[in-house]
Amino acid sequence: MATIKQALISVSDKAGIVEFSQQLIALGVRVLSTGGTARLLRENGLEVVEVSDYTDFPEMLDGRVKTLHPKIHGGLLGRRDLPEHVAKMAEHNIEAIDMVVVNLYPFAETIAKPDCAFADAIENIDIGGPTMLRSAAKNYGAVTVIIEPCDYAPIIAEMQAHNGAVSPDTNFALAKKVFQSTAAYDAAIANYLGRFPRADAHPLEQNFLPETFTWQGTKVQDLRYGENPSQRAAFYRDPQIDEPCISNAVQLQGKELSFNNILDSNAAFELVKEFTEPAAVYIKHTNPCGAATSTSATMADILRRARACDPVSAFGGIVALNREVDAESAAVLSETFLEAVIAPGFSPEALATLAAKTALRLLQAPLLATFQASGLEIKKVVGGFLLQERDLKESPDAKWLTVSAREPSAQELATLKFAWKICKHVKSNAIVLAADNHLVGVGAGQMSRIDSVNISIMKALEPTAGSVLASDAFFPFRDGVDAAARAGVTAIIQPGGSNRDDEAIAAADEHNMAMIFTGNRHFKH
């Protein structure tokens, strides 16, 4: 075990550093420090040695050069188990540094500010910090390296239990954390700089998608298998996303989540997040098979209306709600075999009811009153990947265009808005039928749009007369409109943009249907 006799402390995040340093000194550790960290420790009555005094070389260039010195990196990299290293260190009066406590300039936080200037971003690229961390982590057999304040308490506890020493296993775990953190730090810098064709590039010249892209996730759990039992898999979290989502949901009960459970739960929760009014959705194989909203009905009734769309497909599905699950809602959920339920919360009565379903996974992901949806979407292909913005942009209702002779009624318009939100989350080619703010039929993932229309009609368990239709992309031919009219559909919402839009509009007028163009497509492959 490596005994800690000398530590170098230089932190940007100073939370807990005074108390940690006090405990180190109490254990007989000599503390080296720099700049603001040294001042803070002295102000709190702690005895520290300035790095500039230790190296006999002043901090210079506005602090850019202070720890880049052989006495620092020799003390970190020198191997105590090699006599030639020990002799060379003694020859050059280099003392061993047994612990490094460093966290880095807040680069990611700096560039996240809307008014961040390019020069400010550059100044927040840490050089000495990552260099010390990497030197210490490479020599983890002899050096303890700490990058996060959450590790202060366990390290002190271990040192107190082992006469000031830290175990090799702990040092190795901390070293891995360092290389993971510095990799993410360098990735943030590379991704940011990759957006600029020149340092003085105008914002309009900047490329939102950088020349290279590096993404890092933190493993949440190993999964039993992937989509199929023959595939190995694990679930990783994106630390840059802090909106309510499957990745930060808390599992309250049930079996371990599977690969497919996670995909379906994500699809369900992202759809239910579209609604501010109370809503519930049923998902099967990432497609909605039931959905409903209401401002007057109970959540239990909303669940019943959502399930009624396709109760056969709902069996073994995933349910998402954007309100707390209460006792009555839990009773409705208990009537169907489900894989998982994700919601902002569960009442004690609901938890008691659902506890009988021991295999049912309950996921809690509190929905904030307001949150900023953001981030990029990665789709892997063999030999590469596709990178795009998430499909979060929507043209406001005020810019929607009624292209038919007849305007939609107020009831039709309300249901068209509901259907449009649902359709965005259905695999292309996507068609949904809705009535009175609940799903009636869904046609998903077909190779031709007319097939999706026909499937949505065929799947409907209640009369389609008086329903409305949403299409994720334009109708390439009028056949889809004609089929919808034969089923009694009274209004259609679609993006428009086909060379045959005139034919689709003419078909709508022939059938006295209202038709709205949104100007915004929602393909989901």
* Residue 61 pLDDT greater than 70, yes or no: no
Q: Phi-psi category of 164—alpha, beta or left, where left has phi over 0 and alpha has psi -120 to 50?
A: left
Alpha helices in 334-428 (DSSP H): 348-354, 410-423
pLDDT at 72: 85
Instruction: Indicate the pLDDT class of residue 115, thresholds 50, 70 and 90.
Output: confident
C-alpha to C-alpha distance for 108 and 185, rounded to whole angstroms: 8
Contacts 24+ apart (CB under 8 A), 387-390: 387/209, 387/213, 389/208
Tell me which long-range contacts 211-215 makes (C-beta under 8 A, separation of at least 24): 213/387, 214/183, 214/186, 214/187, 214/190, 215/187, 215/378
Q: Which residues contact 102 (CB under 8 A, 6 or more apart)?
A: 8, 9, 10, 11, 129, 132, 133, 145, 146, 147
Task: Select from 521, 294, 343 the least CA-distant residue to 426.
Answer: 521
Mean per-residue pLDDT, 159-184: 94
Is the confidence at residue 127, as pLDDT, over 90? no
Where do we find the tokens 């023959």? 230
Section 474-489 average pLDDT? 96
pLDDT at 396 over 90: no
Q: Write down the pLDDT at residue 65.
A: 67
Helices (H), 239-371: 259-272, 299-308, 311-314, 327-333, 348-354
Q: What are φ and ψ of residue 422, in 5° steps?
A: -65, -45
Q: Can you give the C-alpha Rg of the chain in angstroms? A: 30
User: Each residue of 362-381: pLDDT tens digit?
Assistant: 999 988 767 778 788 999 89
CA 464 to chain centre: 38
pLDDT of residue 304: 97
* Other Cβ atoms closer than 10 A to 480: 27
Sheet (strand 401-402) strand order: 250-253, 361-364, 338-343, 317-321, 279-284, 287-293, 438-443, 431-435, 468-471, 491-494, 514-517, 401-402
pLDDT digits (tens, 9 = 90+) for 339-352: 999 999 999 999 99
Q: Is the pLDDT reported for residue 481 higher than 70?
A: yes
For residue 202, is pLDDT > 80?
A: no
Q: Which domains are seen in the chain, by residue range?
A: 2-193 (3.40.50.1380), 245-364 (3.40.140.20), 399-517 (3.40.140.20)
Residue 285: which of 301, 298, 266, 299 has the closest Cα? 266
pLDDT at residue number 200: 77
Do the beta carbons of residue 305 and residue 278 sit within 8 Å? no
Residue 261's Cβ-side half-sphere holds a number of Cα atoms within 13 Å equal to 25
Tokens of 9: 């402390």
Yes or no: say if 165 and 3 are a contact pair by the CB < 8 Å rule.
yes
Q: Give the active site residues.
A: 138, 285
14-23, 193-202, 404-413 — which is least confidently predicted?
Answer: 193-202
Which pLDDT does position 326 carry in this prediction? Answer: 97
Query: 286-336, pLDDT tens digit by residue?
Result: 999 999 999 999 999 999 999 999 999 999 999 999 999 999 999 999 999
**Quick check: 515 pLDDT over 80?**
yes
Distance CA 520, CA 494 (A): 8
C-alpha closest to that of 288 among 426, 431, 472: 426
Which of the residue ranges 15-24, 85-94, 381-390, 499-508 would you say has the lowest mean pLDDT? Answer: 85-94
Q: Are strands 2-3 and 6-11 parallel, antiparallel or unpaired?
A: unpaired
CB 213 within 8 A of CB 387: yes
Q: Are 28 and 164 in contact (CB under 8 A)?
A: yes
Alpha-carbon dihedral sign for residues 342, 343, 344, 348: negative
Q: Give me the pLDDT at residue 372, please.
A: 77
**What is the structure's pLDDT at 60?**
63
Beta strand pairing call for 514-517 and 287-293: unpaired
| β-pairing verdict for 99-103 and 144-146 | parallel
Q: What percent of the chain has pLDDT over 70?
A: 98
On the question of pLDDT at 262 being above 70, the answer is yes
CA 6 → CA 14, 25, 72, 161, distances in Å?
A: 19, 10, 11, 18
Euclidean distance between CA atoms 422 and 400, whole angstroms? 17
Q: Can you give the pLDDT at residue 288?
A: 97
- Number of Cβ atoms within 10 Å of the Cβ of 209: 12
Separation CA 413–CA 491 (nearest Å): 8
> Which residues touch 436 (CB under 8 Å, ≥6 apart)?
411, 415
The torsion region of residue 137 among left (phi > 0), alpha (psi -120 to 50) and beta comes to alpha
Mean pLDDT in residue range 67-73: 80
State the sign of the Cα–Cα–Cα–Cα dihedral 122, 126, 131, 133.
negative
Quote the mean pLDDT of the chain.
92
Residue listed under structure tokens 């265009």: 401
Beta strand extents in 170-316 (DSSP E only): 218-223, 233-237, 250-253, 279-284, 287-293
pTM of the predicted model as reported, rounded to 2 decimal places: 0.85
What backbone phi and psi angles, to 5 degrees, belong to 337?
Answer: -70, 125
pLDDT of 75 reads 87
Per-residue confidence (pLDDT) for residue 70, from 0 to 100? 81
Counting Cα atoms < 13 Å in the Cβ hemisphere of 119 gives: 0
pLDDT for residue 504 is more than 70: yes
Select the highest-mean-pLDDT range: 128-132, 216-220, 381-385, 500-504. 500-504
Report d(CA 432, CA 289) in Å as an integer: 10
446-476: pLDDT as tens digits? 999 999 999 999 999 999 999 999 999 999 9
Token pair 């428009």 is at which residue?
Answer: 496
Residue with the two structure tokens 């942009």: 393
Average pLDDT (2-11) is 91
Of 119-123, 245-249, 404-408, give the range with the top mean pLDDT. 404-408
> How far, in Å, CA of 187 to CA of 194, rounded?
10
- Is residue 167 within 8 A of residue 144, CB to CB? The reply is no
In three-state secondary structure terms, 20 is helix
What pLDDT digit, counting tens, does each position of 173-197 carry? Answer: 999 999 999 999 999 999 998 888 8
